[in-house]
Amino acid sequence: MDPILSEIEKALENKGLSAAAASMMAAGHYSLIKNMKASKAGGKRYSVETLEKLAEVLGLELYFGPPRGADPEPPVLDIDGDDFAAIPRLAVEASAGTGALNDDTPEIVGKLAFRRDWLRKIGVKPDRAMLITVTGDSMAPDLRPGDLALIDQDRNAWEHNRVVALVDLDGGLRIKRVLLDPGRAMVLASDNPAHLPELRTKHEAARLTCLGRVVWSGRHWE
């Protein structure tokens, strides 16, 4: 027997219904199941719509899809869509110690997704942000070697007591806390007391470039 009709017969028996009664409940006439059993051009007289109505009456499930019990396909996450924005991670390291690294044309080595509503909350535009890796320990404990720092490139003006990514006099990329005095001289301060502050005169400060403010950081735990 047709496997579909076989399941219908089992359901009728379980429900205690006649084929005519179930047909009336599903289609409003008594001959639905009778017609389904009749041959028509080598096939059967039923459609998906017919089976949906009958399945509801008989307490059956009409299913068409991957085999039950098979491993489902993993969902595809759009990391740069309506809900998430993909921030590029650059192949550069910003020194938070004594050294400095420089790369005029940094390569994008990956992207990290952030929720757009969270970025809006902290005032960051996705197309004006970047992720760089921290080296050195001068900004510890808040920034440690290997941390990822999210830089807001729109906040690139010098402000007192802000942690920023900057290009220093030697062309190296640094992350430091900037302290300004009334004479507009600049101090590159470290949060780690083991590292001494570095003075930049007014003339030297004019040669520095602020790439943006550090607004978030993350790290991998061993």
Q: Which helix (H) or strand (E) segment is 211 a member of?
A: strand 209-218
Residue showing tokens 């009749």 = 38
From first CA to last CA, the distance across the chain in angstroms is 61
Does position 89 have pLDDT exceeding 80, yes or no?
Answer: yes
DSSP 101: B
Q: Report d(CA 209, CA 207) in Å as an integer.
A: 7
| Tokens at 80, concatenated | 């740069």
What average pLDDT does range 49-54 have in this prediction? 87
Residue 128 CB-half CA count within 13 A: 14
CB 56 within 8 A of CB 64: no
Among 29-43, 99-113, 152-166, whose mean pLDDT is lowest?
Answer: 99-113
Amino acid sitting at position 194: A
What pLDDT score was predicted for residue 145?
93
Top pLDDT among 113 and 32 is at 113
Q: Is 198 helix (H, G, I), strand (E, B) or coil?
A: strand
What pLDDT score was predicted for residue 188?
96
pTM: 0.62
pLDDT digits (tens, 9 = 90+) for 96-127: 765 444 445 568 888 999 999 999 999 999 99
What pLDDT score was predicted for residue 31?
87
| Tokens at 63, concatenated | 């299913």
Pairing of strands 173-180, 186-189: antiparallel
If 0-12 CB within 10 Å is exposed, 13-18 middle and 19+ buried, where does residue 139 land?
buried
Phi-psi group of 140: left, alpha or beta (phi > 0 → left; psi -120 to 50 → alpha; rest → beta)? beta
| Tokens at 166, concatenated | 């900057």
Q: Report d(CA 29, CA 27) in Å as an integer.
A: 6
DSSP 182: T
